[in-house]
Amino acid sequence: MAAKKRFKRIAVMTGGGDCPGLNAVIRAVTKTAISRYGAEVWGIEDGYLGLIENRMHPLAYDDVSNILTVGGTILGSCNKSNPFAFHVRSGKSVRKKDLSDLCLEHLRQHDIDAMICVGGDGTMASAAAFAKKGLPVMGVPKTIDNDVWGTDVTFGFNSAVTTATDAIDKVHTTASSHHRVMIVEVMGRYAGWIALYAGVAGGADVILLPEIPYELDKIADYVHARSQKGKRFSIIAVAEGAKPKGGKPFVAKVLKDSPDPIRLGGIGTTLADQLEKMTGRSCRAVVLGHVQRGGTPTALDRTLATQFGHHAIEMLMKGRINRLAVLKNGRQDSVPLSQVAGRIKTVPKNHPLIRAGKAVNTSFGV
């Protein structure tokens, strides 16, 4: 499909895990395309799975009204369907098959000449591969993990941090009442952005990040030192991908039919058992899990998602294709999709918030 200055029929899809703000992007993309450029917009159902199975439908202006504040995605999503390596079952065996040409044929059947992909690093890797095949593609960075390379922030992150901070606030009272060590495990995969921001915002005493392997004895000593000073409880915010020095992240399960088969988790419970034995103090773990993905988006995520969706359409209509809409230094910008594929953004060890946390005596387990 050759690049054009203007596109008449555009498809939009939401891939990967859900998060607050997806509907705000769908709304911005659809309303901008229709009202500003007279283009048609089609919604692909359930991410790349809907593209593989040819499930898509037109989106009218009224279809995307009153969805700005709604969490999740009206189009549905799927995080197990890589069109370039789709798991096909034959009897008891499973093999990977490249169905990307079939996907392009489905788009041609509906006269769709460009696609907007809303997702994280996995979604963008496939988007970049479709761009190489000649399909004009635009990317919008979505993930609660804030780990998409090339952008200062992704929408969905602020909502997740708000939820996690609220949880940390709430465990303070029960930790204080029972004189316990309360461990709050948050999402983030291999990036510690949620743990860092929610931990600092919630006043966590210890924050454990994937980027800074921790030493268990240092955490135990820190908890003991607090109790010696009359602090009879401690709060620990831990990212699911955090790992001990010289060790590996804790794996909850492996999904063989997923493009990203490793599912992290379990560090909170393990850490609680270890610290209870080492310190003699009552320890409890709270795993927030998918509650961080749910609910209505914050005002920040609504506006950010709207900006991203609008920016993606504007770039597309100006012929600046195969790019990811990003926010850099507070300004709307873009980077080539080819640069985003296969990369994630982790927390720098010299991040200002880490320095600020250390300055107020927060431990990072080292």
Q: Which sign, positive or negative, has the C-alpha torsion 10, 52, 156, 127?
A: negative
**Rounded Cα gap, residues 267 and 240, in angstroms:** 6
Which CA distances in Å does 265 have to 73, 169, 185, 204? 25, 22, 8, 20
**Tokens of residue 45, six digits:** 């159902």
- Choosing from 18, 145, 147, 301, the catalytic residue is 145
Contacts 24+ apart (CB under 8 A), 94-103: 94/256, 94/257, 99/52, 100/129, 100/130, 100/133, 101/133, 102/52, 103/48, 103/51, 103/52, 103/130
Q: What is the DSSP letter of 291?
A: G
CB within 8 A of 206, min separation 6: which ones?
Answer: 219, 222, 223, 234, 235, 236, 237, 238, 362, 363, 364, 365
18 counts as catalytic: no
**Rounded Cα gap, residues 291 and 33, in angstroms:** 33
Q: What is the DSSP letter of 233?
A: -
Residue that is written with structure tokens 């379990």 in the block: 266
Q: Would you call 340 helix, strand, or coil by DSSP?
A: helix
For residue 131, the Cα-to-chain-centroid distance in whole angstroms is 22
Q: What Rg do the C-alpha atoms of the chain give, in angstroms?
A: 22
**Rounded Cα gap, residues 161 and 169, in angstroms:** 12
**Rounded Cα gap, residues 349 and 126, in angstroms:** 30
Closest by CA position to 124, among listed 111, 137, 114, 136? 137
**Tokens of residue 310, six digits:** 């609008």
**Rounded Cα gap, residues 288 and 167, in angstroms:** 8
The residues carrying an active-site annotation are: 145
